[in-house]
Structure 1
Amino acid sequence: MRLTDFIRANAPFLTAGALLTFLSSFGQTYFISLFAGEIRLSFDLTHGAWGGIYMIGTMASAAVMVWAGGLTDLFRVRLLAPIVLIGLAIACLAMAFNPWVWALPVIIFALRLFGQGMCSHIAVVAMARWFVATRGRALSIASLGFALGEALVPMAVVAAMSVVAWQNIWILGAVICLCALPVLARLLAQERTPASHAATDVSVGMQGHHWRRMQALRHPLFWCMVPAVLGPSAFNTAFFFHQVHVAEVKGLEHLVFVSFFPLYTAIGIAAMVLSGWALDKLGTARLTPYYQLPMVAAFLIFGLTRSPLGLVVGFVFLGLTSGANATLPNAFWAEFYGTAHIGSIKSMATAVMVLGSAIGPGLTGLLIDLGVGIETQFIGIAAFFVGTTVFMNWGISRAARDLPTATTDTDLRRPQP
């Protein structure tokens, strides 16, 4: 099926996925970090204190994701998504009107759980479950919402903060989440119930069966993938979380620094689409072990250069892995562990991802306060990604022997009213 025909035939479901991934922006680090200077000034926080608050709230959201993510195996997207968006809107309003420093961890918890956690999780689980033969395409198209948010939101927010109070931007975020509710209801007027179709879903994983969460946790492949899931979330998050500080270290104005983001996003979109196409052709076993190598180059460049041109090259490499990260890992869990219980298994991976996004800013912020320069940290981060690549290669090469040699899955089973 041609791409245009595929999009036309499945437009409501793909659009719903892209809408949810875009709305996750309000709980993503690249959005919250834009207000780091204002929040630290308003509450008199150091880099380490703000990073610690962010880490506490995010770690709490990761713990809750282990349970909340499994709800996608039981309930329809059209039921879960509105609840999540209402929670995200309330969290945005809380950030706008909060006068107490002790409430910041609670607000961060809500933003991360409903935004980065559940909005993203619902979207990618739906794509992995609804689409099989074209899973890569579906994930890459739905993930365009991430790219659109990364491309448009930072520059729009930085520009808006020069003319309006930063709290008003959070109020606008709440309004956008609430306005999306009727749109999402329209897109998902017809949708299947996961609990009802799981028994007939024939997209099996290793050894020809659907793995449950506890079985996956006892398998060594899951633990080989944990550093790879945690790494991009931890250190991509840390990079954008400390973007104001990084711009200062590099001797650039913040607006100049965020002007590199559209290039990063464009590369990410290209990598996302290409990896989705390659995934459908080659499978995740051949592609996943190597997709983090560009991250090694990116952080080496960020650590060693201060020239704008060097930073541009670093953003190119960062975008390559970030784009592939939107498709390959999400398809990986379905291909290796089956789709009947993909929500509960993917929730563990999402929890690890969210945990990583807590560890990254907190650890790097603490190291900055202790005198370890951010550029020195970038060199260590590059070494970490060398290690994740080694682990993935070892684990996937062994587990791939147990994958089914063929599948009878269809591209999409039409949802029932």
Structure 2
Amino acid sequence: MTYFTFLRDNARWLSASYLLTTFSGFGQTFFISLSAGDLRAEFGLSHGDLGLLYMVATLGSALTLPYVGKSLDHYPVQKIAMAVMAGFALFCLALAHAFAVWMVAFAFYGLRLCGQGMMTHTSVTAAGRWFSAQRGRAVSISMLGFPTAEALFPLCFVILSGTIGWRGAWTVSSLVLILVAMPVLFVLLAKDRIPSTAEVAAAKAEGRQWTRAEVLRDPRFWLVSCGVNAPAFIGTAVLFHQVYLVELRGWSLEVFASAFLLMASGVVIASLIIGPLIDRFSARQLLPYTLMPLCVACFVLANVDAQIAAFVFLGLVGIGNGFNGTLVGAFWPEVYGTRHMGAIRAVAFSIMVFASAAGPGLVGWLIDIGVSFDAQVTAMGIYCLVFAAVLALAARAYRSDQHS
């Protein structure tokens, strides 16, 4: 099946998965962090204070995700998506009308749970379940929602906040979810996709169908999770403190913001390339390479002061995110089966949310106590290098298990 034929025959479900990922952008760090300066000024918070607040709220969403995420194993995707988007819109309004720090924390919690957590979880889980032989391509297309949001949402927010204020911009975000996202996705998700007999016959044997309890007892799961969630930790940490980074280096914030287009392009290119490669070689075989772009990105950012480093860093982060997001989306159902994937992926996503929560808080605290930003980013690069080797060993262990 050609790429065009695949897109044409499955446009309904691929569009739904893509749009779920796109609209998750309202709950992603690159969008929320645009209000960081206003929140610090209005509520008298330091970098560390706001980072800690964000970390606690995100950790709370991570603890909640395994319980709500398994609902995808029991209810239609359409019902889950509608409920999540309704809650998502309410939390956007909560931040728009926050008058105390506790309300900011509550809004952060909901935005991270609904946006980063359940919207993405629903999109990738549905794509992995709807498609088997073409899973890599399906997940890669759903991942294109991230660069779309990264390219469009920040610019729109900056324009709106400059016109009607940051609170007004969050109100508009809520209205977009209610008036645009919900009606469109209600129609697209009205019909569930059932793989055809030919697809089932062409699909690779899925083998054992692991339960969540069995997966949690598998040490390989935890090793892989520590590796593949490095992008969540590092990307969130650096982007949440992007204003500090720009001030530290004496860069132009406008020029730095323009580099996000390169990041979005990197995600698109990597996602479109890695999807067919996964279908051809398997996610297991490609696992050891997923952290290499991010590793190089960290060493460049830590050692190059010129503003070109921002473009190189964000471009490589984009490539790494496209590679890693697509790979992980296909990897878990490949090695653990699809029968209990809602429950399994909910845990995997909660770990990712934990990683993204730890980044801003830890880096903000280290900044407050005087640890240099360059030293922190260098340590992140070393972590990626070490876990690239760990992932190679884990991939070999999974392949041995497959052949045993």
TM-score range, shorter chain: over 0.9
Where do residues 85-234 of structure 1 align in structure 2 (5 Å cutoff)?
85-179=85-179, 180-191=181-192, 205=206, 208-234=207-233
Flag the 1:204–1:223 CA change in 2: closer, same or farther, 3 A.
farther
Tell me, yes or no, if structure 1 residue 45 matches structure 2 residue 17: no
Q: TM-score, normalised to structure 1's length?
A: 0.92
Quote the Cα distance in structure 2 between the aligned partners of 1:78 and 1:317: 35
Flag the 1:253–1:161 CA change in 2: closer, same or farther, 3 A.
farther
Deviation at 1:329, TM superposition (A): 0.6
Which stretches of structure 1, 4 residues or more, deviate above 4 A after TM superposition? 202-205
Question: Aligned letter for 1:346?
Answer: R
- Secondary structure of the 1:162 match is helix
Quote the Cα distance in structure 1 between the aligned partners of 2:39 and 2:31: 13
| Residue number in structure 2 paired with 1:348 | 347
CA contact 1:136–1:280 (8 Å) conserved in 2 = yes
CA contact 1:150–1:265 (8 Å) conserved in 2 = yes
Gaps of 5+ in 2: 196-200
Quote the Cα distance in structure 2 between the aligned partners of 1:316 and 1:20: 24
CA contact 2:84–2:118 (8 Å) conserved in 1 = yes
| Residue number in structure 1 paired with 2:70 | 70
Deviation at 1:269, TM superposition (A): 0.6
Deviation at 1:107, TM superposition (A): 1.1
Tell me, yes or no, if structure 1 residue 364 matches structure 2 residue 363: yes
Deviation at 1:221, TM superposition (A): 1.2
CA contact 1:18–1:144 (8 Å) conserved in 2 = yes
| Residue number in structure 2 paired with 1:27 | 27
Deviation at 1:93, TM superposition (A): 0.2
- Secondary structure of the 1:163 match is helix
Cα deviations across residues 243-266 of structure 1 (Å, max 9, x unaligned)?
111111121222221100001110
CA contact 1:203–1:338 (8 Å) conserved in 2 = no
Deviation at 1:160, TM superposition (A): 3.1
Flag the 1:66–1:89 CA change in 2: closer, same or farther, 3 A.
same
Tell me, yes or no, if structure 1 residue 243 matches structure 2 residue 254: no
Question: Aligned letter for 1:124?
Answer: V
Tell me, yes or no, if structure 1 residue 273 matches structure 2 residue 272: yes
- Secondary structure of the 2:162 match is coil
Question: Aligned letter for 1:40?
Answer: R
Question: Aligned letter for 1:74?
Answer: H
Where do residues 279-318 of structure 1 align in structure 2 (5 Å cutoff)?
279-318=278-317
CA contact 2:292–2:385 (8 Å) conserved in 1 = yes
Once the two structures are overlaid, the 10-residue window that deviates more, 305-314 or 48-57, is 305-314
CA contact 1:229–1:352 (8 Å) conserved in 2 = no
Flag the 1:63–1:153 CA change in 2: closer, same or farther, 3 A.
same
| Residue number in structure 2 paired with 1:409 | none
CA contact 2:228–2:291 (8 Å) conserved in 1 = no
Deviation at 1:159, TM superposition (A): 3.3
Quote the Cα distance in structure 1 between the aligned partners of 2:227 and 2:205: 23
Question: Aligned letter for 1:224?
Answer: L
| Residue number in structure 1 paired with 2:15 | 15
| Residue number in structure 1 paired with 2:198 | none
Paired residues, number: 398
- Secondary structure of the 1:16 match is helix
Quote the Cα distance in structure 2 between the aligned partners of 1:26 and 1:312: 23
Quote the Cα distance in structure 1 between the aligned partners of 2:302 and 2:158: 25
- Secondary structure of the 1:24 match is helix
Deviation at 1:156, TM superposition (A): 2.5
Question: Aligned letter for 1:254?
Answer: L
CA contact 2:21–2:142 (8 Å) conserved in 1 = yes
**Alignment RMSD, CA only?**
1.8
Quote the Cα distance in structure 2 between the aligned partners of 1:404 and 1:166: 55
Cα deviations across residues 198-218 of structure 1 (Å, max 9, x unaligned)?
xx9x8765xx21000111111
Cα deviations across residues 154-179 of structure 1 (Å, max 9, x unaligned)?
22322333322011110111011112
Give % identity: 37
Once the two structures are overlaid, the 10-residue window that deviates more, 226-235 or 129-138, is 226-235
Deviation at 1:9, TM superposition (A): 0.6
Deviation at 1:314, TM superposition (A): 2.0
Q: TM-score, normalised to structure 2's length?
A: 0.95
Cα deviations across residues 44-88 of structure 1 (Å, max 9, x unaligned)?
000010001001100000000111111111111101000000000
Deviation at 1:404, TM superposition (A): 6.4
Quote the Cα distance in structure 2 between the aligned partners of 1:241 and 1:342: 31
CA contact 1:127–1:139 (8 Å) conserved in 2 = yes
Where do residues 255-266 of structure 1 align in structure 2 (5 Å cutoff)?
255-266=254-265
| Residue number in structure 2 paired with 1:374 | 373
CA contact 1:57–1:105 (8 Å) conserved in 2 = yes
